[in-house]
Amino acid sequence: MAPTLRIASGLLAAATAVSGASWIPSFMTKDVVIIGGGAGGGYAAVRLKEDFHKDIVVVEKASKLGGHVSTYTDPASGKSFDYGVQNFNNYGPAAAFFQRLGVSTGPAPPRIPLATQYADFTTGAQVNWTAPDAAARSAALATFLNVTAPWEDLFIPGWTNFPQPNQIPADLLLPFRDFVTKHNLHAIVNQVFQVTGSGAGNMMDALTLYVLSAFGQPMIKTFLGQLGALYTASGRNIEVYEKIGQRLGNAVLYNSVVTSSIRTSLFHTIFVKNQVTGKTTVIFTKKLLIAIQPTPANTEPLNLDVYEQSVLSKFNWQTVHAGLVSHPSLPINGSVVNMPAAAAPDNYLVLPTVDYNIRFDYFGQNLFRVLMVGDKNFSKAKAQQLIRNTVSKLIQAGTLPASTAQVQFPAWADHGPMHMHVTKQELQNGFIQKLNSLQGRRDTWWTGGAFSHQFQALIWAFNDLLLPQLVAA
Ligand SMILES: Cc1cc2nc3c(=O)[nH]c(=O)nc-3n(C[C@H](O)[C@H](O)[C@H](O)COP(=O)(O)OP(=O)(O)OC[C@H]3O[C@@H](n4cnc5c(N)ncnc54)[C@H](O)[C@@H]3O)c2cc1C
């Protein structure tokens, strides 16, 4: 820590202690301030603290760590339901990290066999759509693996090895629809969409690069049985982040956001406000690790310079919600899948377009999981209204039995901006190189989904590449 920084913070801390006034901010000095305690920030915090012996603090907006991990415990039965993150790819450091945290793994929880029916959620009408048979799906999946294999190292676990603009493989810049047609992958489109590819939004129009970011080699290998997945034995995925929270102790400022910052070449001054108590903490630090989605709203207090703004402003994104809903018309042991009428009887290139709910899946008790993807303005209010409207339409069209009951929302997670992406033109203008050039610039590093991919274990593996650079700088 720079001597000036140490003296300044010492004086301020002494002033606080002497006055004892609660409205006076707290002051602290840290080696690294980490903003966001989800997959990127939570993992980085453990490694920086325990492996690199850095004095760190995590600024986390929520009252818990873990970001997209959403574990709902039913108050009546005490039973837990993971309606956010389902499992962790057994990729890179994931298994060792579970072991280190003392999180026991177990078999995949038994799946309730669901009777699937297809309906167009824009009208509620049933759609007679025939899924490709298992042999066709397996064959297409194997082709998908072969075709994409040469590109795995180009962007997994992060974009570090991404080729120069004039060397980007042309297939990666094709709309996914054209890529599917070119390689005859029709039989796996629905599977890609239903599992994680929906994060790409209007998936058939998205660049293949970004569909692979949402459903890439690790997922293909998982479905081909070549890569395992880790499940918590407790059946509560939040356990991973509870254990991280226990290890970090008071190195996490919960319910807290950065309100403003001064970033200089000597040190950064980060002003943090606890949204529950109103208390301000001023943190002096040499290094900053930003582990939140780099949207304008999130980065506004981070005193971005013109270059940082010019790079990050190119990002667009989807907004994602997941929830557990109840309604007596929804079928116990059933799955009602959103399928546009134009997909009947077997057009595999037609998918729902944003804003949408992918499906209602029976999850146990009287709970149905919904997974929703929308544009930048897809608020929680809009998402829940879409669920109400869809249930009404399904009833009016006779797809679901009649009921005047209201939809209940026992658990809901607004996952906010996800799947950051740019246009083909920006990629050809060197966007990824510019994104990579932010690492270490202004003593600031960036992690999380926008700099890696939307999978826990991939982000952890990306951190393993990034953190030594942060420490060495
Ligand atoms: C419904 C759903 C299911 C998923 N299922 C899986 C799965 O089964 N397996 C898998 O590997 N991945 C899954 N993912 C994806 C995975 O969880 C994400 O890729 C990963 O969490 C992204 O990590 P991150 O660090 O970028 O963001 P996050 O994990 O979201 O972490 C960001 C953190 O920053 C906090 N934060 C946000 N804004 C601020 C702010 N202004 N100030 C301070 N803190 C802030 C948030 O509260 C959060 O804790 C799923 C995602 C969703 C939405």
Q: What is the tens place of the pLDDT at every residue in 143-154?
A: 999 999 999 999
CA of 67 from ligand 1 middle (Å) equals 4
What's the pLDDT score for residue 18? 47
How many Å lie between the centroid of ligand 1 and the Cα of residue 279?
A: 26
- The reported pLDDT for the residue numbered 9 is 54
Per-residue pLDDT at 8 = 52
Report whether residue 213 contacts ligand 1, using a CB cutoff of 6 Å. Answer: no
pLDDT in the model for residue 111: 83
The answer to whether the CB of 369 is under 6 A from ligand 1 is: no
**419 CB under 6 A from ligand 1?**
no
* Closest ligand 1 atom to Cα of 458: 11
Q: Is the peptide bond before 355 cis (omega within 30 degrees of 0)?
A: yes
Partners of 119 in beta bridges:
126, 338
Average pLDDT over residues 313-329: 98
Q: Where are the beta strands (DSSP E) in 208-315?
A: 229-232, 252-253, 256-263, 268-274, 280-290
Rounded to the nearest angstrom, the distance between the alpha carbon of 447 and the centre of ligand 1 is 11
Place of tokens 């479905």: 223
The predicted structure's pLDDT at residue 4:
52
Find all residues with CB under 8 Å of 218, minimum gap 6, and list them.
89, 91, 156, 227, 455, 457, 458
Instruction: Of 319, 331, 403, give the one whose Cα is nearest residue 366.
Output: 331
| Predicted pLDDT of residue 48 | 98
Average pLDDT of the residues in 203-220: 96
- pLDDT tens digits for 110-149? 888 999 999 999 999 999 999 999 999 999 999 999 999 9
Q: Whose CA is nearest to atom 35 of ligand 1?
A: 36
Q: What is the dihedral of CA 339, 342, 345, 350, to 10 degrees?
A: -60
β-pairing, 56-59 vs 26-35, is: parallel
- Residue 445 pLDDT greater than 50, yes or no: yes
Mutate to test the pocket of ligand 1, among 357, 454, 459, 462 (most ligand atoms within 8 A of CB): 454
Non-local CB neighbours of 148 within 8 Å, separated by 6+ positions: 212, 216, 217, 220
Over residues 372-420, the pLDDT tens digits come to 999 999 999 999 999 999 999 999 999 999 999 999 999 999 999 999 9
Residue 19: the pLDDT is 45
Q: DSSP secondary structure string, 292-320?
A: S---HHHHGGG---HHHHHHHTT-EEEEE
Q: Is 291 in the pocket of ligand 1 (CB under 6 A)?
A: yes
Break the chain into its structural domains and give their ranges.
3-68+236-315+424-472
Q: Which residue has the tokens 């990290």?
A: 97
268 lines ligand 1 (CB under 6 A): no
Residue 455 has pLDDT above 90, yes or no: yes
Residue 279, Cβ density class (10 Å: 0-12 exposed, 13-18 middle, ≥19 buried): middle
- Distance from residue 332's CA to the centre of ligand 1 (Å): 30
Phi, psi for 5 (deg, rounded to 5): -65, -40
Nearest CA to ligand 1 atom 10: 455
Nearest C-alpha to atom 22 of ligand 1 is from which residue? Answer: 449
Mean pLDDT of 277-299: 97
Q: From the CA of 134, how far away is ligand 1's center (Å)? A: 32
Ligand 1 atom 32 nearest Cα: 38
Q: What pLDDT does residue 190 have? A: 97
Q: What is the mean pLDDT of residues 273-282?
A: 96
Centre of ligand 1 from the C-alpha of residue 66, in Å: 7
- The reported pLDDT for the residue numbered 5 is 54
pLDDT in tens, 11-33: 555 455 444 455 689 999 999 99
Q: 3-68+236-315+424-472, which class in CATH?
A: alpha beta
